[in-house]
């Protein structure tokens, strides 16, 4: 028989009719076999000294919560969980069968390749399909080598070391760069980190038509205590968040291209970075839920590289991206359901990591963007 020395709180014992405890005692010495202790272990409180029940312990002293900043964008809608799970399963199936075609290639040289990623395909699947594409190129060059044998020795090289230079969300389409060596990958990572790469995106949003034609939004960005990306006040940048991360700055410029089909696709060079209409986020957005909803095609210029940056800023502006259920975008619109958000990485501009020459990769508009520029 195992014996345990347990000090029992008087008030817990008083609830047990089979134990008679003198009112003058606050605790007693209790000896019991192991089975009894196991049965009532949830009721018994083990302490080393209960001579003074009012003395505070580590369990009774309230813990002061850290003063974390409050997110200004709403939490994920409850409906998004099931929809996102279905989309992820569908994308996984499609991605396992995906193969790049020559029509997906925007640019290629001996150091890198730029591709137009389709919507609903994971970046890793695009990367995995590149060797097959390059092998096809080798097969074509092999025909020349049969005619000119010396060419084979000249073009022999080890397999390329493929890396993703940038990533896109599963449902975001558009420009992706894949490097063919570690050295080039390192240079491009440095260029992205130092904000030496200019990016533009096209998004189809649903909400009240903005009163501005061009604007710049400045806010904080970080994960809330539930691990979800949220918008924070600009003044919260640098403050600690749950999990040890900090609020980082997030800046995006926008221009309206069309509203309900009325508008046009401006040239990239027409956008002026010195936008006078600047919104500095310090409080929650005031969105009129009953206002008339329009289809707005916007071009976004992210000046920082935060996760889900454009999606979060569109949500804050009250013009969530169509199909983006994670950030309050409509799932059903005009009698149709959307299986992914409509966001497109339109262009990347940078200095070539080897030659140093300025270069721009631009992906053609997807169908939904072209249709949004046409009057109904």
pLDDT tens digits along 216-255: 999 999 998 888 999 999 999 999 998 889 999 999 999 9
C-alpha 100: how far from chain center: 24
Angle CA 321–322–327, to nearest 5:
50
Of the ranges 5-9, 227-231, 242-246, 279-283, which one carries the lowest mean pLDDT score?
Answer: 5-9
Beta-bridged to residue 223, according to DSSP, are 229
Active site (annotated) includes residue 169: yes
The domain locations on the chain are: 1-61, 80-372
Long-range contacts of 62-65 (CB under 8 A, 24+ apart): none
pTM over 0.85: no
Q: What is the pLDDT of residue 369?
A: 95
DSSP H helical segments within 243-353, as ranges? Answer: 309-316
| Backbone torsions φ then ψ of 2, nearest 5 degrees | -90, 140
pLDDT band at 156 (very low <50, low <70, confident <90, very high): low
Instruction: Output the CATH code of domain 80-372.
Output: 3.30.2350.10
Alpha carbons 361 and 177: distance in angstroms, whole number: 9
pLDDT tens digits along 309-332: 999 999 999 999 999 999 999 999
Annotated catalytic residue within 169, 171, 236, 324:
169
pLDDT tens digits along 181-198: 999 999 999 999 998 999
């Amino acid at each position: 028989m195992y014996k345990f020395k347990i000090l029992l709180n008087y008030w817990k014992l008083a609830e047990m009719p089979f134990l008679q405890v003198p009112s003058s005692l606050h605790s007693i010495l209790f000896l019991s076999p192991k089975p009894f202790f196991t049965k009532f272990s949830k009721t018994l409180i083990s302490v080393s000294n209960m001579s003074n029940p009012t003395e505070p312990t580590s369990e009774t002293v309230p813990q002061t919560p850290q003063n974390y900043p409050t997110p200004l964008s709403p939490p994920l809608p409850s409906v998004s969980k099931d929809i996102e799970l279905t989309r992820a399963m569908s994308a996984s199936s499609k991605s396992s069968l995906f193969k790049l075609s020559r029509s997906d290639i925007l640019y290629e040289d001996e150091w890198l390749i730029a591709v137009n990623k389709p919507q609903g395909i994971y970046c890793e699947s695009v990367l995995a399909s590149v060797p097959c594409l390059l092998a096809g190129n080798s097969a074509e060059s092999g025909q020349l080598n049969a005619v000119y044998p010396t060419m084979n020795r000249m073009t022999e090289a080890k397999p390329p070391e493929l890396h993703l230079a940038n990533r896109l969300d599963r449902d975001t389409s558009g420009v992706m760069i894949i490097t063919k060596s570690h050295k080039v990958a390192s240079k491009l990572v440095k260029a992205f980190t130092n904000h030496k790469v200019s990016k533009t995106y096209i998004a189809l949003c649903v909400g009240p038509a903005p009163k501005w034609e061009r604007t710049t939004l400045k806010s904080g960005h970080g994960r809330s205590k539930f691990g979800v990306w949220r918008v924070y006040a600009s003044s919260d940048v640098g403050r600690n968040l749950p999990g040890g991360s900090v609020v980082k700055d997030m800046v995006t410029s926008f221009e309206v291209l069309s509203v309900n089909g009325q508008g046009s696709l401006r040239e990239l060079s027409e956008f002026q970075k010195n936008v006078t209409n600047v919104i500095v986020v310090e409080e929650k957005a005031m969105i009129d839920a009953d206002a008339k909803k329009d289809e707005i095609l916007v071009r976004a210029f992210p000046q920082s590289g935060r996760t889900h940056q454009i999606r979060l800023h569109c949500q804050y502006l009250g013009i969530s991206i169509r199909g983006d259920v994670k950030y309050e975008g409509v799932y059903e619109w005009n009698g149709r359901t959307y299986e992914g958000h409509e966001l497109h990485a339109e262009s990347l501009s940078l200095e070539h990591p080897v030659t140093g020459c300025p270069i721009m990769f631009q992906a053609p508009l997807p169908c939904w963007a072209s249709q949004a520029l046409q009057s109904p």
